[in-house]
Amino acid sequence: MISGTLIVLSVIVIVLGYFLSNRYKWKKCPPGPRRLPFVGNLLALDPLQFRSYSKWADEFGPIIRVDLATTKTVVISDYKMLKEIFSDPAFSGRMDFTIFDIAGKEKRHGIVNTEGEHWEELRRFSLRQLRDFGFGKTSMEDLVMAEVNELIEIWKESEGKPVSSVKDQLLFAVVNALWTITTGKRHSQKDTVLFEMTTKSNESLSEILESGGVLLFVPKLAKIFPTWSGLTKTRKTGEEFAAYFKKPIDEHKKSYDGNYTRDFIDVFLKEIKDTTNPTSPFHGQFGEDNLLGVISDFYFAGNDTTSTTLAWMILYLTKLPEIQKKIQAEIQEITGNTRPVSLKDRPNMPYTEAVIAETLRFSSITPQGVGHRAIRDKEFHGYLIPKDTVITPNIYYIHFDPKIWGDPENFRPERFLSPDGKTFKKHEALVPFSIGRRQCLGESLARDSLFLFATNIFQRFEIKFDKNGPDHGFEPKVGFIVITPMPFNIILKDRLV
C-alpha cells in the first residue's frame, strides 16, 4: 500500500521538478522499468527494495536503470559484472551522505562515506593498525571469547525461559572485541545508555524510510522539510552518538604518551600529531573529525551486521533442528565438549563452515549492499554510466539466482561441501561482504566472530523456537541497509551441565 507521505512526496517533487529543473537526457542508458517524471520509480518500489530490483532483473536483465527521484541508479544483478564494475576506480566513489556526517559539519569523514585519496589513506592506515593490534591473532580471539563467555553466562540465567530480543542481546557482545582494540575499553553487555542510543538510531533511520527516502534521494527537499523527512531526528541522534564517541578521544588526548601506543585511538592521534600536510586526512582538526568518523564506522558496521547474521542463524537452526544437531555432533567430535571451540578447529569443521556460509547466503542481510558512485563518465558493457550515477549491487538476486544455486529457496548447507562432505568449498558468487575495491574492511573479524559465537553457543545450548511467542517464519523486517529477523523468542537448555 502506498503511504500518504509517499504520495505527498511525489506531488512535491513533481511540482518542484517541473518548475525548477531541466529535463535530463541519458543516452545509451541500460533498460529498466518505466519511470514517472521526477519521482522516477519510487512509487513502484517494494518496501523491501531488493524484491523490486530482483523482479526487474528477471524482466530487463543483469544491468538495469532505476531512478529514485533525482538519484540516477544502475543496479547490477550478475556477480561477474559486479566484480568487474566494483574493481574499477571509475566506479569506486560514494553517494553524498554528508547530511549524515557524525562530526556535524556536512563534510565527508571516516571510511565508509569517503572516496578518492582520503578514503584510500584512511582505509589503508586503519587496516594496517587493526592487523597490528590483533586482526587474525590470538589476542583478538581472546577478546571475542571473553564476550562469548559473558553472553553464555547471561543466557544461562534464562535457561528454560523464553528469551526475546535475541539480536539486541548479541549486539554489544559482538562489537566489544573491536571496541576494546579501538578505545582500550569495553562496554558492559548491559550498557543501557548505548543500547538506548542505538535504538534511537534505528528509529530515526526507520523514519527516513517512512518518509519515502526523501532524505536520501532528494536531500535539498529534506532541508526544506527537516521534521517530516526525518532530518531533525537523524541529526539529533548523530549529535548524541558524536558526544559519546568523543569521550574516549578526549580521554586519550589528555593521557597521550607518544612513546607508548595503547590502542587504535592512540596510533591515530600520533598520526595526527606527526602530520604537517594540510591536505592530509590526518591533519589537525580535520584529522580528529576523521578519527571520530572512523570510530563511528567501526561501531555501526561492526555491531549490526554480525549480530544480525547470528540472529538469523539462531532462527534458522531453531526451525531446522536437524541441522543444529549436525553442528553439535561435529563440535563434539572435534572438542569432546571438554573445551571451547577455537579458530584452530575451523579447518576440521567443514559442516559448521558450510552452515555459516549458507546463513550468509540465505539471510543476505545487506541485500543491496552499500552503493558506489561513478566519479566520471564511463561505458560499461555497452552502456554509458554518467558521473554521479549510483551503482547498486543486487546481492540478494545473486544469492538467490537458480542458475547459480539450483534450489536457492532451500536452506541447504551441503551446497558448500564436497560430495563426500569432508571439505568446505567456497563459492565465488557468495558476496555477503561485497566485492572489489570497497570490500568490507572488517570481513576477517566478522568471519572469526561468527564462527566463535555460533560454535560456542551451540556447543553450550540446545536452542528451541518458542512456539508460544511470535512466529513470522523467515520474513525479514524492513531496514535501512540491514534486514533483520522479525521478533522471535527462543528457549535455551544447557547441554553441558
Question: In 10 A of CB 444, how many CB atoms?
Answer: 16
Amino acid occupying residue 490: I
For 296-310, b where at least 16 C-beta lie within 10 A, e where not — what string? bbbbbbbbbbbbbbb
For 83-103, b where at least 16 C-beta lie within 10 A, e where not — what string? bbbbebebbbbbbebebbbbb
Question: In 10 A of CB 368, how many CB atoms?
Answer: 20
Q: Grid coordinates representing 94? A: 560514494
Whether 39 and 13 have beta carbons less than 8 Å apart is answered as yes
Q: 461 phi and psi, to 5 degrees?
A: -120, 145
Beta 490-494 vs 162-163: how paired, if at all? antiparallel
C-alpha to C-alpha distance for 426 and 416, rounded to whole angstroms? 6
Residue with cell 544461562: 156
C-alpha to C-alpha distance for 183 and 178, rounded to whole angstroms? 9
End-to-end CA distance of the chain: 51
Q: Grid coordinates representing 59? A: 524482466
Cα separations in angstroms, 339 against 331, 355, 437, 456: 10, 21, 39, 10
Amino acid occupying residue 178: L
Q: Grid coordinates representing 286? A: 580535520
CA contacts within 13 A on the Cβ side of 121: 16
440 is in an annotated binding site: yes
Which one, of 308, 323, 305, lies nearest residue 485 by Cα? 308
- For the annotated binding site, the residues are 440
Tell me the binding residues for heme: 440
